[in-house]
C-alpha cells in the first residue's frame, strides 16, 4: 500500500472507533504549537545536486548498533484504543523495518513483551516527583535488556491538550544533581528528552547525557512553543558530535525527516505516523510506513548529492521567509 492509502485506512479505522481526534496532533490551549509543528516544515526547500550523485545509503549506527534507517519510533504509551497489545505489535513492526523502538509509560509486563520481540528498545521514564519510582523503572529497564534509558524533562508540569491538563501532580522538575544521580545509577546511555534550548543542551552534556531529544512534546507542554527545527542548529552548535541528537514533534514524511537531519539531527523519532500504520495494518502497517518514509529519505538524499547520512548538511536547504 502507498502512504496515502495507509493513512486513509487508519483514519477510517480510528474514526469507526470514535478515537480519531486523539491522534490529530492537538496541542495545549489554542493548539497553535500542534498546528505549527506541521506547518514549519514548509519553511525549508531542497536544492538539487544531480551531477555525480549516487543512490544513497540510509543506514546509521546508534548506541553501537546498526540500523537501516534514521527513523525510530517515538516514546509511545497507551494506544489500547488502536488495537490489542499495541506496544508489542508496534515493536514487531519496528524490528522488521530494521529500526529502534522507544517506550514511554508502560507496565512491567508490557515492557517485557516489547523486549521479547528482539527489537532494540529505549525506555523513557516520566520525571516523577518520586525519585525512587524513577530509579526503580530505570533499573527494571536495564535488567530487562533496554539499550538506553532516559526521562522527558519537559513533562515535569504534566501534559496539556486543549484545556485539559493530565498527570501534573505526579511529576516534578529535575535539578542538575537529580539528573546526575539518575545518570549514575545505570550503565546504559541516559537520554534527556525534551531539550529545546542551547542552555539545556549544554547542561545535559555536562550532566553526562548519552543522547538528547530535541522536542516540544508534540505541542502538549505549552502553547506557542518553539518548533524543534527553530532551535536545532543552536543546539547542534553546543552538542557537536559528542552524543546523538534525536528530534521529534510533528514529523510525517521523509522530507520532514531530511530537513531535521540537514539542520543537525542524527535521527528522528516518529509517533503518529507509526500509530497510523498500526491502525491500518497492525505490525505489517508499521513496517510499511517506516519503509515508505525511509525510501522517501533515500530519494531526497540521492538527488541532493548525499551519499550517506553524514553527507547531509544545511547547505542542501533553502530557507523561505514565507509559508504557503
Annotated ligand binding at 49? The verdict is no
Is residue 228 within 8 Å of 195, Cβ to Cβ?
no
* Assigned C-alpha cell, 314: 544545511
Give the other-Cβ count within 10 Å of 268's Cβ. Answer: 27
Please report the pLDDT score of residue 123 as a whole number.
99
Among left, alpha and beta (phi > 0; psi -120 to 50; other), residue 40 is: alpha
* List 164, 192, 217, 227, catalytic entry: 217
Buried b (16+ CB within 10 A) or exposed e, 33-66: bbbbbbebbebbeeeeeeeeeeebbbebebbeee
- Boundaries of every domain in the chain: 3-319
Give the other-Cβ count within 10 Å of 109's Cβ. Answer: 8
Distance CA 213, CA 193 (A): 4
Annotated ligand binding at 250? The verdict is yes
Annotated ligand binding at 217? The verdict is yes
In sequence order, what are the residues at sequence separation of 6 or more whose Cβ sits closer than 8 angstroms to the Cβ of residue 187? 142
Please report the pLDDT score of residue 167 as a whole number.
75
Tell me: domain 3-319, CATH 3.30.920.30, correct? no
In this structure, the dihedral spanned by the alpha carbons of residues 215, 217, 223 and 228, taken in order and rounded to 10 degrees, is 20
Beta bridge partners of 268: 71, 247
Annotated ligand binding at 145? The verdict is no
Please report the pLDDT score of residue 92 as a whole number.
99
Give the other-Cβ count within 10 Å of 178's Cβ. Answer: 16
Annotated ligand binding at 215? The verdict is yes
Please report the pLDDT score of residue 166 as a whole number.
82
Distance CA 194, CA 190 (A): 13
Please report the pLDDT score of residue 169 as a whole number.
80
* Assigned C-alpha cell, 1: 500500500
Q: Are strands 44-46 and 317-319 parallel, antiparallel or unpaired?
A: antiparallel
Is residue 279 within 8 Å of 82, Cβ to Cβ?
yes
Please report the pLDDT score of residue 324 as a whole number.
76
324: exposed, middle or buried (Cβ count in 10 Å: 0-12, 13-18, 19+):
exposed
Annotated ligand binding at 133? The verdict is no
Concerning whether 217 is annotated as a catalytic residue, the answer is: yes
Is residue 34 within 8 Å of 305, Cβ to Cβ?
no
Please report the pLDDT score of residue 313 as a whole number.
98
Annotated ligand binding at 113? The verdict is no
Q: Is the dihedral of CA 125, 130, 136, 138 positive or negative?
A: positive
Annotated ligand binding at 193? The verdict is yes
Q: Residue 34: helix, strand or coil by DSSP? A: helix
List per-block mean pLDDT (blocks of 10 residues) for the chain, which spans 324 residues: 97 96 88 95 98 97 99 96 97 99 97 98 98 98 99 94 86 98 99 98 98 97 97 98 98 99 99 98 99 99 98 98 81
Give the other-Cβ count within 10 Å of 262's Cβ. Answer: 22
Please report the pLDDT score of residue 103 as a whole number.
98
Of the candidates 81, 64, 123, 120, the one whose C-alpha atom is nearest the C-alpha of residue 97 is 120
Please report the pLDDT score of residue 26 as a whole number.
81
Amino acid at each position: 500500500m502507498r502512504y496515502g492509502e495507509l493513512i486513509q485506512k487508519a483514519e477510517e479505522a480510528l474514526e469507526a472507533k470514535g478515537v480519531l481526534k486523539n491522534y490529530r496532533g492537538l496541542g495545549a490551549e489554542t493548539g497553535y504549537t500542534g498546528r505549527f509543528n506541521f506547518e514549519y516544515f514548509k519553511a525549508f526547500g531542497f536544492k538539487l545536486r544531480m551531477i555525480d550523485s549516487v543512490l544513497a545509503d540510509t543506514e546509521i549506527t546508534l548506541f553501537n548498533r546498526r540500523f537501516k534507517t534514521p527513523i525510530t519510533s517515538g516514546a509511545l504509551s497507551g494506544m489500547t484504543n488502536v488495537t490489542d497489545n499495541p506496544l508489542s505489535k508496534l515493536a514487531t513492526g519496528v524490528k522488521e523495518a530494521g529500526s529502534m523502538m522507544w517506550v514511554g509509560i508502560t507496565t512491567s509486563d508490557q515492557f517485557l513483551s516489547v523486549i521479547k520481540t528482539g527489537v532494540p528498545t529505549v525506555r523513557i521514564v516520566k520525571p516523577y516527583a518520586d525519585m525512587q519510582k524513577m530509579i526503580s523503572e530505570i533499573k527494571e529497564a536495564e535488567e530487562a535488556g533496554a539499550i538506553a534509558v532516559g526521562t522527558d524533562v519537559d513533562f515535569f508540569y504534566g501534559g496539556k491538550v486543549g484545556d485539559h491538563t493530565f498527570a501534573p501532580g505526579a511529576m516534578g522538575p529535575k535539578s542538575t544533581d537529580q539528573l546526575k544521580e539518575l545518570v549514575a545509577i545505570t550503565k546504559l546511555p541516559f537520554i534527556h528528552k525534551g531539550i529545546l534550548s542551547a542552555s539545556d543542551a549544554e547542561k545535559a552534556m555536562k550532566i553526562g547525557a548519552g543522547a538528547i531529544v530535541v522536542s516540544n512534546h508534540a505541542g502538549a507542554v505549552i502553547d506557542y512553543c518553539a518548533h524543534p527545527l527553530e532551535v536545532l542548529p543552536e543546539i547542534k552548535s553546543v552538542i557537536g558530535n559528542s552524543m546523538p541528537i534525536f528530534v521529534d514533534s510533528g514529523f510525517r514524511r521523509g522530507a520532514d525527516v531530511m530537513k531535521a537531519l540537514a539542520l543537525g539531527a542524527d535521527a528522528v523519532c516518529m509517533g503518529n505516523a507509526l500509530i497510523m500504520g498500526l491502525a491500518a495494518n497492525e505490525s505489517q502497517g508499521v513496517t510499511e510506513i517506516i519503509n515508505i518514509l525511509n525510501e522517501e529519505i533515500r530519494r531526497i538524499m540521492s538527488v541532493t548529492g548525499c551519499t550517506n547520512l553524514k553527507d547531509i548538511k544545511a547547505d542542501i536547504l533553502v530557507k523561505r521567509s514565507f509559508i504557503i
